[in-house]
Structure 1
Amino acid sequence: MEVPLGGGRALRFFLFDGVSNSGELLASLQAGTLSPEVALFNASLVPDLFPVLASAHRTLLSQSRGNLVTRTLHSELVYNFSGSKHITESLRRCGISSGTSYVLVVQFDCPAEKENEVRKLIQGREISLEELAKRADTALIQKHFKVPPLELEISSLTDAVTSRIAARDAL
């Protein structure tokens, strides 16, 4: 699925389950040899696509100002999603680990004819993005983003996560 971001930019999303090559993907990411370049999220921590879109806007703003904190646009996306100011901790928590089997793959400006290149990276079963909200680990998301139960009485988990992403530098 592709979502336009404005200014001719877009994000393309892929959701996979039963991923068996997370260790190889992580090693390629860390070595800077992952091709094509993508952002790899632990999908259990993503309650909806909206917080990822908020992260994408922060990422593109950082790029336009020439102040990316990480090495690549896609690692910056994961970093901005995390809500933490610690790069290593952000990538470790919200990115994939060697045992991650449920993965959200996101790529900036992926033309439709290049979709299969992204799909070939992942050894797993592609599933519908509609599964994302159903399979989110609510307790883990609340813990990671420090969302108290009282806040969820007046707001959704997606809104709580998104507000933390948007306000990170102000806190």
Structure 2
Amino acid sequence: MVEFPVDTHPGHSLHLLLFKDVTNSNELVEAMKAGTLSPELAFFTATLVPSTFPVLVAAHKALLAQSRDNLATRTLHSELIYNYSGSKHISEALRRFGINETSSYILVGRFDATPEDLKATRGLIQGSEINLEELSKEASQSLILKYYKITPAELEVSSLEEAVTCRIAARDIL
């Protein structure tokens, strides 16, 4: 677990936790659909996240939308996943970058988490929490390239992390 202050929004932070060998994804998805998930969380398919930096850019965008009363999704945490996506299609973004019933490698995000929230989060997920440094080792470069439409020529002048971050930051103006 790592806490990242969101410097552009004083007083806000994003906690990220990484889990492997998760066995209850189906229950988590059902709780999200029913609106009974407590605490509210963002669940990412971790293989589509090359590093934490693009997630932090998406967090900034989500908090900015909330501060303007302009969320495109129902909650701040679903807005985080939506903003992580390179797509303007909400359902596609949540389906592709969020978890599904068979997900076993999950990145969890929680804004402004209290110690109780973190304890409850760990209690919800049946899997092994691992260090966030493992995130880049398990990233599926081929899927990330496909979903973000990153070309080999682009990777000659930037990293995968930079290309994803660029897509996230520029999505609304393209």
Q: Tell me if both proteins adopt one fold, taking TM over 0.5 as the criterion.
A: yes
Stretches of structure 2 that go unaligned for 5 or more consecutive residues are: none
1:125 to 111, 125, 128: 128
2:78 to 75, 80, 88: 75
CA offset digits 1:27-50 (Å, max 9, x no partner): 111111111100000000000000
Aligned to 2:6: 5
TM-score scaled by length of structure 2? 0.96
Distance across 1 between alignment mates of 2:161 and 2:124: 28
CA displacement at 1:104 relative to structure 2: 0.1
CA offset digits 1:41-97 (Å, max 9, x no partner): 000000000000000000011001101011100000000001111111000000001
Q: How does 1:1-171 map to 2 (within 5 A)?
A: 1-6=2-7, 7-171=10-174
TM-score scaled by length of structure 1? 0.98
Give the 3-state SS of the residue equivalent to 1:167 in structure 2. Answer: helix
Distance across 1 between alignment mates of 2:44 and 2:12: 20
CA displacement at 1:113 relative to structure 2: 4.2
Q: What is the root-mean-square deviation in Å for CA atoms of aligned residues?
A: 0.8
For 2:68, the aligned partner's letter is R
Distance across 2 between alignment mates of 1:153 and 1:138: 15
Is the 2:21–2:105 Cα contact (8 Å) retained in structure 1?
yes
For 2:49, the aligned partner's letter is V
Structure 1's consecutive aligned runs of 4 or more residues displaced over 4 angstroms after TM superposition are none
CA displacement at 1:114 relative to structure 2: 3.1
Distance across 2 between alignment mates of 1:9 and 1:85: 25
